[in-house]
């Protein structure tokens, strides 16, 4: 029997209509467009409508990814969603709601929680299911309504985050050329306090105190996270390239987590990446956590920049702390 590999067959994304610009934020907190652009590279981000939920955005991204893959909905045998802003904490899973919205029934569906690293973590889940022979067509989606956990009086976080979704079909193949080259995912819980949403959860169940203290909002040690992000992202990419004997010049698309332009620039520079190799969407979408990498892949596919067979290097970092990198070809059709 020939070996089965996982391949990245298609990409899709959805961004909500409403734009929250730096000028809008200037009216909400003590900040300036100049400060935000200089310190983060972000000019605007998208915000979901009040009645538009993570599963709605995810389902729209999934519809595109499914259509572009050519896989029939009835042949999808696993749906996995990465999010830290699920429709419900914690039942039903957002993946169950997405499957229902897509009209896919009787399918295994579940969520994972790995913050901004969620999408690359999902790829490791899909790879394991496909290469073990348990599943053939895995729909993976990173989606966030991050605005639902942002305190819009906290200038340290509200300038960074945005909403959106990105999805991909990961399919079984016997063609080694299409296979994932390598993937590495890791975590270090001793830095758990760098990025936290303290409530709701069993540590802080919903109470008046939770509301009074604003514990339902994301809390971030921004500067400490920044420094660790640069160090970890750089190290992770160096290791995966060295291990696979690939030179950074040979990577047409370096797609890092879109957290802050200065982090991406520092990592890109230390890896000696040229500007045209580095994918940047942070300026127009901000940090969309688990959706950031698939949204960025979708951007280069839709603009015709990502072609069939081209190598992608993904690199991400987020709450947990978690981090992950992946080296894989785009096995779908060029636009």
Interface residues toward ligand UT7, by CB under 6 A: 31, 35-36, 39-40, 116, 155-156, 159-160, 222-223, 225-226, 229, 259-260, 263, 287, 318
Closer to ligand UT7 by Cβ: residue 124 or 289: 289
Shortest distance, CB of residue 194 to ligand UT7, whole angstroms? 8
Listed residue (117, 166, 159, 116) closest to 140, CA to CA: 166
DSSP one-letter code for 106: S
The yes-or-no answer on residue 62 being catalytic is no
Of 285 and 330, which CB lies nearer to ligand UT7 in the complex structure? 285
Question: Could you tell me whether strands 311-318 and 253-256 are parallel, antiparallel, or unpaired per DSSP bridges?
Answer: parallel
Can you list the positions of beta strands (E) in the chain?
5-14, 18-21, 44-47, 78-82, 108-112, 137-144, 164-173, 182-187, 195-196, 219-220, 253-256, 311-318, 322-329
- Cβ proximity to ligand UT7, 39 vs 307, nearer residue: 39
Burial class (CB in 10 A: 0-12, 13-18, 19+), 133: exposed
Q: Is 257 a catalytic residue?
A: yes
C-beta of 244: minimal distance to ligand UT7 in Å?
26
Nearest residue to ligand UT7 by CB is: 222
**Cβ at position 26, least distance to ligand UT7 in Å:** 9
Least Å distance, CB 14 to ligand UT7, is: 20
Helix axes 54-69, 94-102, angle to 10 degrees: 50
Instruction: For residues 92 and 127, give the distance between their C-alpha atoms in angstroms, rounded to a whole number.
Output: 25
d(CA 106, CA 36): 46
CB of 41 to ligand UT7, least distance (A): 10
- 251 vs 264, beta carbon nearer ligand UT7: 264
- The catalytic residue among 81, 257, 260, 298 is 257
Nearer to ligand UT7, 97 or 143 (CB): 143
Q: Do the Cβ atoms of 43 and 20 come closer than 8 Å?
A: no
245/241 Cα distance (integer angstroms): 6
Query: In the chain, what is the straight-line distance between the N-terminal and C-terminal CA atoms, in Å?
Result: 33
d(CA 136, CA 56) in angstroms, rounded, equals 25
Instruction: For residue 287, indicate whether it is catalytic.
Output: yes
Between 238 and 265, CB nearer to ligand UT7 = 265
* CA–CA dist 207, 222 (Å, integer): 27
CB contact at 8 A, 327 and 180: yes
Catalytic residue from among 62, 81, 96, 116? 116
> Least distance from C-beta 326 to ligand UT7, angstroms?
17
Residues involved in catalysis: 116, 257, 287
């Amino acid at each position: 029997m020939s070996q089965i590999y996982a391949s990245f067959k298609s990409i899709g994304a959805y961004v909500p209509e409403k734009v929250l610009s730096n000028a809008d934020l200037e009216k909400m907190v003590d900040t300036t467009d100049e400060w935000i652009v200089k310190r983060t590279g972000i000019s605007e981000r998208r915000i979901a409508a009040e009645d538009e939920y993570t599963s709605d955005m995810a389902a729209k991204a999934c519809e595109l990814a499914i259509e572009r893959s050519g896989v029939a909905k009835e042949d999808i045998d696993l749906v996995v969603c990465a999010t830290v802003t699920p429709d419900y904490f914690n039942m039903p899973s957002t993946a169950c709601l997405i499957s229902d919205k897509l009209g896919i029934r009787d399918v295994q569906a579940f969520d994972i929680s790995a913050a901004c690293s969620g999408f690359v973590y999902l790829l490791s889940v899909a790879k394991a299911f496909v290469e073990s022979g348990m599943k053939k067509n895995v729909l993976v989606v990173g989606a966030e309504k991050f605005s639902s956990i942002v305190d819009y009086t906290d200038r340290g976080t509200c300038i960074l985050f945005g909403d959106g979704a990105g999805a991909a079909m990961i399919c079984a193949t016997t063609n080694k050329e299409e296979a994932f080259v390598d993937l590495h995912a890791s975590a270090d819980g001793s830095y758990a306090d760098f990025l936290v949403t303290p409530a709701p959860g069993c540590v802080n169940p919903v109470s008046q105190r939770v509301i009074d203290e604003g514990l339902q909002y994301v809390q971030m040690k921004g500067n400490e996270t920044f420094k660790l992000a640069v160090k970890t992202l750089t190290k992770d990419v160096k290791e995966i390239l060295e291990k696979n004997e690939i030179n950074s010049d040979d990577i047409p698309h370096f797609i890092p987590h879109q957290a802050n332009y200065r982090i991406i620039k520092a990592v890109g520079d230390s890896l000696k990446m040229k500007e045209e190799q580095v994918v940047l969407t942070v300026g127009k979408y901000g940090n969309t956590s688990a959706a950031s990498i698939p949204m960025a892949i979708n951007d280069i596919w839709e603009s015709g920049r990502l072609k069939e067979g081209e190598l992608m290097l993904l690199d991400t970092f987020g709450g947990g702390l978690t981090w992950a990198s992946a080296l894989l070809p785009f096995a779908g059709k060029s636009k």
